[in-house]
A and B are shown apart, each in its own frame.
Chain A
Amino acid sequence: MVRLMRQLQFQIFILPILIVYTLFSIYPLIKSFVLSFTNFDGYTKAYDFVGLKNYDLIFSDDAIVSGMSYTLIFAFFSTMLITALAIPLALILDQRFYTSKLHRAIFFFPSIPSGLLLAYIWGFILAPISSGVFNKVLKELFNLGPQPWLSDPLLAKLSTIVVAAWASTGWHAVLYLAFLQSIPKDYYEAAAIDGANRWQQIRHITIPLLAPAMTISVMLLLTGGLKVFEIPFALTRGGPGFETHTITQVIVLRGISETQYGLASAMSIVFFLIVLLIAYFQVTFMQKREERNR
């Protein structure tokens, strides 16, 4: 009994966050699952059970197929780009120089404002007309005509990925920086005595010891990339056509705009399972890599 009371004393502290998590994550998920088998329209509380009809419709929906492919492209390439930029940036920010703290703050800053706000600002920079900031720079420097950064299918995809990388690289660099600073300096000193140059130290000490940070960072980037909404929506509104529609945008479109909540719920459930599966394989794979490096 005493043991039970002692355990309860600790578990009671979990209760508030458990309630919040249940209310805002578990309950909506269960509710979405139930609604995915209905023709709920989002307005009338009376709805009918339609079985698997909504799940059957998902893969014949052009928008969801297009949204799925763009979202996977976005998640994969933004993760690659941000990781490729964040690690070298973290190595630079780890050096001691006069303005190192200021530089850390500057690179971290873009992750503070909301994605929507950043994307609206980038909308002016990438405006496809000659008065767009980026097009003006290209004209001045290379005498190039205005480029359709947000309306050409390929350039629009590229622009959204680059803006996402600009917004998140600093945050992930700071994450790597935290892990970098926990690597004992002795390793580098021993390697230097053994004659290892800077590149060899990075290759054989820094990168392997950054593996846990990479697992976390890549998981956050992949799941965040798969759930992306704000940046592509604010930059291109999903256009041209369905070219930069994300899965989340399609879910909002089918659910709110078209009042097909049942179908949107089915999409959400399938999407949840896809994200879960990708995140599971990514974490398993990268954790095995960490173990190999030990």
Chain B
Amino acid sequence: MKKFLWFGSALLLCLSMVLTACRGGNNAESSGSVNNTEGSKESSDKKVKLSILSWNNEKEMTPVMEAFTKKYPNISFDFQTAPPVKDYIAKLQTMLLSDSATDIFIIAAENRNEVIDGGYALDITDQPFMSAMVDGNKPMLSKNGKTYAFTQTGWAGGLFYNKELFEKAGIAEIPNTWDEFIQDCLKLKAAGIIPLYDNMQDVTTIHNSLFANLQLSKDKDIDAKIFAGETTFSNTWTEVFKIWKKDLIDNKILTPDMIGLSGDQIVNEFALGNVAMFPGGPWNINTLEQTNPDLKFDMMPVPGPDPSGGNYFAGAPGVGFAVNAKTKYKDEALLFLQFLASPEGLKDFETGTGALITANGYEGKVHPAMMNAYKNGLMAGKVYLPMVSWPRHQEALRSQFVVSMQDLAVGKVKPEEVTQALDKKFKEMENK
């Protein structure tokens, strides 16, 4: 018995020592607090190491962090990164739960509800630098009229198309209606060119655009109504899946074997001229130009079946930088956000990340291929992304969407069953 007690005590002691060591320490090199953020004269007297968790990698963040450190030499960074989306969310979640989250982290569409509802992010609605954030970017990072993160970016995506392959198939101009789009795909097929690759591993740009054209254009609150129980996925999305199945799957423009393609393979195939179109965004441009500098490409929206609905791009505000509500370096963290919102910070962020800057009063660099998406999509408000528009259960619904869409592509279910599965998942999540 004594042996057991001794052994148990030793085990407990060691466990408590290990757990204590595991507790996140602060990064202070000296303690103290700063109460103003404007210029922060006091903060310049003490050395602080701000911790950041971002899903931009270190290379992308270096220009803006270096410029900030140059301006505020007393503040240095403990930079951490995790790739988007799931890895980042899982890492941040672990950190938040174990009270070891970084001073600054990012909030994405996929985890905004949990982070904001959990009280993990500081309310920054009234910070002076928030005037740089465009109003269109605020709803995604806000709740009950309060904004919890700052974003200076937005993105728009559509269909990249190969101009030379279009010419080869006799397509003189990009399609403006859904029927023209399908006809052009068939023309490409007839010319021996693979019209389109889409690996159906996410809520696709085509689905986004079809839904926006058919439903959102008529009722901008349609998603809110689904989530309020006033309508259902079956009522609003079935038509989208019917059109997608009839025109793209049945015509073999999209084929089930594409499910096995990785995103990188699709980009490479497009860059090498083996496929005429693929859904993508600004993040693909560097790879396309590096893989094939001679490639002539542009981006177009997926044209909708309803001529009165207009054509939509996929798109959303970029992820937002938030300040940890429990940070000991609130002033310094806010100072960094203030720097991000300044013209200098915006330029450095643009240089490092290549992101589309949508901040007030800043004219960003836009790649010529992205100009249509930027002007007629992002800046015209003709972008839609369910993950942003759905107020809750985004990840659960996205997973169900992908699984059911793949089942539809391989002929296992009917369009009606896809939307019924979405309604079932929604109910399950509401009752969890």
Chain A residues near B (Cβ < 8 Å): 4, 7-8, 11-12, 15, 18-19, 22-23, 39, 41-45, 63, 120, 123-124, 126-129, 131, 146, 148-153, 156, 236-242, 253, 256-260, 263
A258 near B410 with CB under 8 A, answer: no
B261 near A127 with CB under 8 A, answer: yes
A237 near B201 with CB under 8 A, answer: yes
The residue from B118, B262, B395, B406 contacting A240, defined by CB atoms under 8 A apart: B406
Q: Which residues of A contact B97 (CB under 8 A)?
A: 42-43, 45
Q: Which residues of A contact B260 (CB under 8 A)?
A: 123, 126-128, 148-151, 156, 236
Q: Smallest Cβ distance from A25 to chain B, in angstroms? A: 13
Beta-carbon nearest neighbor of A11 in chain B = B7
Q: Smallest Cβ distance from A136 to chain B, in angstroms? A: 13
* Extra contacts besides A151-B260, A151-B410, A263-B432 (17): CB < 8 Å: A22-B11, A23-B18, A42-B93, A43-B93, A44-B118, A123-B262, A123-B265, A127-B262, A129-B257, A129-B269, A131-B274, A149-B260, A151-B257, A151-B259, A237-B201, A256-B89, A258-B396
Contacts A8-B3, A8-B6 hold; do A253 and B399 have CB atoms under 8 A apart? yes
- Could you give, for residues 193-221 of chain B, a 1 whenever the CB lies within 8 Å of some chain A CB and a 0 otherwise? 00000001100000000000000000000
3 closest A-B pairs by CB: A150-B260, A148-B257, A128-B257
Chain B residues near A (Cβ < 8 Å): 2-3, 6-7, 10-11, 14-15, 18, 86, 89-90, 93, 96-97, 114-115, 117-118, 120, 200-201, 256-262, 265, 269, 274, 393, 395-396, 398-399, 402-404, 406-407, 409-410, 412, 429, 432
Q: Smallest Cβ distance from A241 to chain B, in angstroms? A: 4
Interface of A is mostly: loop
The residue from A8, A23, A44, A128 contacting B258, defined by CB atoms under 8 A apart: A128
Max count, chain B CB within 10 A of own CB: residue among A19, A23, A259: A259
A129 near B96 with CB under 8 A, answer: no
Question: With the chains together, A146 CA to B265 CA distance in Å?
Answer: 15
Q: Which residues of A contact B118 (CB under 8 A)?
A: 43-44
Q: Which residues of A contact B398 (CB under 8 A)?
A: 257
Contacts A128-B260, A240-B406, A256-B86 hold; do A22 and B93 have CB atoms under 8 A apart? no
Q: Which residues of B contact A236 (CB under 8 A)?
A: 259-260
Q: Which residues of B contact A238 (CB under 8 A)?
A: 403
A43 near B399 with CB under 8 A, answer: no
Q: Which residues of A contact B265 (CB under 8 A)?
A: 123-124, 127, 129
Question: With the chains together, A39 CA to B432 CA distance in Å?
Answer: 7
Q: Smallest Cβ distance from B1 to chain A, in angstroms? A: 11
A240 near B258 with CB under 8 A, answer: no
Question: With the chains together, A237 CA to B200 CA distance in Å?
Answer: 11
B406 near A258 with CB under 8 A, answer: no
B259 near A150 with CB under 8 A, answer: yes
Could you name 21 residue pairs across A and B whose Cβ atoms are closer than 8 Å? A43-B97, A43-B117, A128-B258, A128-B259, A129-B261, A148-B256, A148-B257, A151-B256, A152-B256, A152-B410, A236-B259, A236-B260, A237-B201, A240-B412, A241-B410, A241-B412, A242-B403, A256-B93, A257-B396, A258-B396, A259-B396
Q: Smallest Cβ distance from A158 to chain B, in angstroms? A: 13
B93 near A152 with CB under 8 A, answer: no
Q: Smallest Cβ distance from B87 to chain A, in angstroms? A: 10
Beta-carbon nearest neighbor of B14 in chain A = A19
B395 near A19 with CB under 8 A, answer: no
Beta-carbon nearest neighbor of A255 in chain B = B90
A256 near B404 with CB under 8 A, answer: no
